[in-house]
Structure 1
Amino acid sequence: MSARHRFQSFLYHTSFTFFILILSALMVGSAWGLGEQAWRTDHQRRWNVFALVAAYVAFLIVSVMHVWSRVFSVKKVLRSMPKPYMPTKNVDVPRRVSDLIQTEYSRTSVIAHLAQATTGQQEGWGRPGTKWADVHFRTYILGTLDEMRNILHPDYSHAPPTSLQPLIDATANFPPSEPDGKPDPLRLFVASYAKILERARYAAKEPTEGDAEAVHSVVGLVRGMVDLRTAKRDAAAARAAPSSATSSAQPSREPSGSHAPHHRGRSRTLGVSFGGVELGAKPPLHQSSW
């Protein structure tokens, strides 16, 4: 505060005290003069003193009532004001202060209006009304790293904790059941996930909804492929266990001397009779008559 403002404030506050002292002196002087004049009047001394005292008592009562009404009305107005009320109008503060407040308020309002989203979407955040509403894409993408580590169980003994190469190398622990010589799709998915994660970590540009959707899909695919390959590997190990146990045991052989019993007997010719003649039987011998 400058010296001029301090001087004006001093005059503003001391003027009230000065005028109160002047009014008090005038009131006391007038009361003293009137009282002395009334006292010197012999035939109406008592009446004059009574009238003078009554007038001053009435004056004091009216003054106190007026002051009390003003205090009560001011307190009532202050209580009716909302608590967050701030004196910004020219009736509450000096005009220059009020103009400065209005100028800054207008400038702040314009900045706030320009900062609002006009397309219904803010960069790096999900659009309202979609499944990505109120989702920060960078935070979501970086938050999936723990889930991928729980799925693949990478080895970080020879790599820094921030490296993603162990995550890609961990796909070798889940080889396909029938290799066809082509690149492993699991490794390709994890490599694409690592690229998106690297961009979310270090890129100045905010990730898009497509990046978040791709990460969501890749995590689901990787989990499904790992579970499927793990189940196939466990099933193959379960089938291989009984066969190995059987091959390790000695095979049992049947005794060579056991043959079916051989029955000797005359062969009988079976015939079928057709028209009184037995087919397949030897014809009867006819004796010639001599």
Structure 2
Amino acid sequence: MRTLSPRALFWISEASYVALALITGCFFAGSLASLLSQAVRTAPTRSWRNNWNAVCIAATYVLVFLVSITLCIRRRVAVRRRLQRISKVYTTVNRTQVPKQVREYISQEFSRACLVSYECQPRHIIHPGWGRPGTEYSGIRFRRALLDTIADIDAKAHLVIPSHPRLKPHARMLHHFRFILPLLPKDGDGFTSLHYYDSAIQLARTSHREPTEEEFLIGMLAANEIGKILNECRVEMLEDSSVRLTSPMA
């Protein structure tokens, strides 16, 4: 069930107060008019002249109105002053400032809240495409994490090969990173880490099901290996440039 915001509750409270005040004022004015008309009808002259009953009724209502307004204003001012005296900063409360029963109640409620929070933690729950709670991949969405590695590898590839083509939204990784393919070593089956990375990215892009933890690990290991090799190539390029600059010209 949706709960109302504090601002909405404030406006509802103010509107209710104004409506109650208007209704009370209408009844107040209606009863005054009724009593004054009755005082005129019951007077011997049936007029307002020398009608002391009407004067007493009007004076009584005026007095009640003034007393009511005074009490409302005094209460408003007292509440506002009391709220202004409340400190706006956090202060530590000592044991002597709070009764024992209040301290015990606060401790019990705090312990109950901690227990409820602990019992509500997920355990042994596996959500497809997300890391298992309690593991190093907890809270990681496999599909998003795999796709986020594309921009990082592309930036490193541009540092090694400045003429590297710009990344297109739906380009295959095997085709887009074809220029760095000779830099990557092959395994026993003749595949490089780029082949495994391409398969993981295609699965994350087009598959209707979420990637499994094993597929996520394969893709991340391949991405880390590609990034490591590109970093090594970048370091070698910088070292070669520094050697050329420091070596004497022939």
With the shorter chain as reference, the TM-score category is: 0.3 to 0.5
Which structure: greater helix fraction?
2
- TM-score, normalised on structure 2? 0.45
